[in-house]
């Protein structure tokens, strides 16, 4: 399966290079551009007067096969990650119980304040 995926990836790279070259060789509709700069007239002289039609058909064919290869590879790679779920591991033996501390820890609180005693009522003064 790995060999087959590698073969398809190699074909995909070759398709990419061929599509790039075909697009650059084609004559542009505006009359200038990269087609003439990279030898677009050479394609016409090799394939005759209908070179544009031939190169366009080859580009469409390569583009369609590129799309199909890409979809097949994406399906293959997405399905390769699906594996059966592993069975749960056996439960571990419980850890031995730790002995309780001899003295409980003092609670963390604010420092103790001395108890407040209520003040005795003041004696009432005799009236006039």
Dump pLDDT digits (tens) for 33-54. 555 555 555 555 565 555 668 8
The rounded mean pLDDT for the chain is 74
Full DSSP string of 81-126: T--PPPPPPPPPPPPPPPPPPSSPPPP--PPP-PPPPPPPPPPPPP
Among 16-20, 77-81, 87-91, 108-112, the range scoring the smallest mean pLDDT is 108-112
Element (H, E) at 71: helix 51-80
Among 13-27, 36-50, 94-108, 112-126, the range scoring the smallest mean pLDDT is 36-50
Give the pTM. Answer: 0.48
Report whether 13 contacts 62 (CB < 8 A). Answer: no
């Amino acid at each position: 399966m790995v060999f087959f995926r590698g073969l398809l990836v190699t074909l995909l790279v070759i398709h990419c290079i061929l599509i790039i070259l075909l697009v650059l060789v084609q004559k542009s509709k505006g009359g200038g551009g990269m087609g003439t700069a990279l030898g677009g007239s050479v394609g016409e002289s090799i394939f005759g007067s209908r070179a544009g039609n031939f190169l366009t058909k080859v580009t469409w064919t390569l583009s369609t096969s590129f799309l199909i290869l890409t979809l097949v590879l994406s399906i293959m790679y997405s399905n390769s990650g699906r594996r059966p779920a592993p069975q749960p591991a056996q439960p571990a033996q419980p850890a031995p119980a730790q002995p309780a501390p001899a003295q409980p820890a003092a609670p963390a609180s604010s420092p103790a304040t001395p108890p407040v005693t209520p003040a005795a009522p003041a004696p009432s003064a005799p009236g006039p």
